[in-house]
Amino acid sequence: MLTIKNLHAEVEGKKILKGINLEINKGEMHAIMGPNGSGKSSLASVLAGRDNYTVTEGEVWFNGKNLLDMAPEDRAREGVFLAFQYPVEIPGVSNLNFLKTALNEIRAYKGLPALEAREFLKLTKEKQQLVDFHSNLMNRSLNEGFSGGEKKRNEIFQLAMLDPQLAILDETDSGLDIDALRIVSNGVNKLRDAEKSFVVITHYQRLLEYIIPDFVHVLYNGRIIKTGTKELALELEERGYDWLKEELHLKESV
């Protein structure tokens, strides 16, 4: 579904990603872990098309299409979704209107008619329950005055509504208390199916107790330096990242 080949990217001349290779197949859950500044969020940003990143080398293919050639909205319409680490507050744009616009733009791209008001509301009600997203938040301005937990739940709610093929969750767990974490993780788990893939970017192993990954990748200094299964996350939790860094230096000095 998604193939990343030797991806290099920089911001304002600073090299951030230095040759990422990653293959994600249908239905897989990938976790990307790594210390601060390793390039985790940058990878998410490059995939979603944030324009202050310049890709200097490499390729990204999504369902056979060149993702890097597409505008951010077209990536979303093709089925890539980024749950933001810091969701933006937009006063004056109601949550409901925003979602309706997004959904219908995606449908139009796929040649589908706009959803009827009734269908839209039905879908909204159904998906709200997934993340316990209160109806009174729906009519409020997008994320305005939402608590940290409400914002993250809103991201997962949008994910449920827009139903992408590939969801990238950028530190969705950071800043969440244990209850909110459980709600968010449950939401994600309910959305998992054989067609949908996830990339979960996180600092903390804690999230991976709730969302069980098929693969765990460690990103360090702009590269994936180790790939393993969920046991790797546990090991990282116990031992930190230093042993991996040492391993890497030994390898490189040979």
Which of 61, 98, 120, 210 is close enough to bind other proteins by CB under 8 A? 98
| CB nearer to other proteins: pick between 22 and 99 | 99
Question: End-to-end distance of the chain based on CA atoms, in angstroms?
Answer: 35
Residue 151 touching other proteins (CB under 8 A): no
Query: Can you read off the two tokens belonging to residue 86?
Result: 């810091």
Rg (CA), the chain: 18
Query: Can you read off the two tokens belonging to residue 96?
Result: 């409901």
Stretch near other proteins under the rule CB under 8 A, chosen from 14-22, 69-77, 173-181, 211-219:
69-77
Stretch near other proteins under the rule CB under 8 A, chosen from 102-110, 121-129, 204-212, 243-251:
102-110
Instruction: Give the Cα separation of 38 and 219 in Å (integer).
Output: 6
Stretch near other proteins under the rule CB under 8 A, chosen from 22-30, 47-55, 112-120, 203-211:
47-55
Closest distance to other proteins from the beta carbon of 109 (Å) = 7
Query: Can you read off the two tokens belonging to residue 92?
Result: 């004056």
Closest distance to other proteins from the beta carbon of 69 (Å) = 15
| CB nearer to other proteins: pick between 84 and 215 | 84
- Distant-in-sequence, close-in-space partners of 142: CB < 8 Å, separation ≥ 6: 88, 89, 90, 93, 94, 95, 98
Residue 91 touching other proteins (CB under 8 A): yes
Stretch near other proteins under the rule CB under 8 A, chosen from 83-91, 202-210, 211-219, 245-253:
83-91
Question: CA geometry: angle at 41 spanning 217 and 104, to 5°?
Answer: 110
Alpha-carbon distances, residue 245 vs 9, 13, 164, 218 (angstroms): 22, 25, 35, 10
Q: Which residues bind other proteins (CB under 8 A)?
A: 48-51, 71-73, 75-77, 81-82, 84, 87-88, 90-93, 97-98, 101-103, 105-106, 109, 141, 158, 162
